[in-house]
Amino acid sequence: MNLTVKTMNYFIANSYLALTVKYIIIYIFYITQCS
């Protein structure tokens, strides 16, 4: 049970990190395409 909670917390933390990275990559891609 403790392992499951740890995995869920790890997944939630990673999804926030992944969202941030994804938006940064999209933003950089948008700037490089437009300029």
The reported pLDDT for the residue numbered 21 is: 93
pTM over 0.75: no
Query: CA-CA distances (angstroms) from residue 1 to 5, 12, 27, 30, 34?
Result: 6, 17, 39, 43, 49
Token representation of residue 23: 């938006």
Angle at 26 between CA 21 and CA 32, to 5 degrees: 125
The reported pLDDT for the residue numbered 19 is: 93
The reported pLDDT for the residue numbered 28 is: 96
The reported pLDDT for the residue numbered 8 is: 87
The reported pLDDT for the residue numbered 1 is: 60
Mean pLDDT, contiguous 10-residue spans, the chain (35 residues): 84 90 95 86
Work out the end-to-end distance of the chain between its first and last CA atoms, rounded to an integer number of angstroms.
51
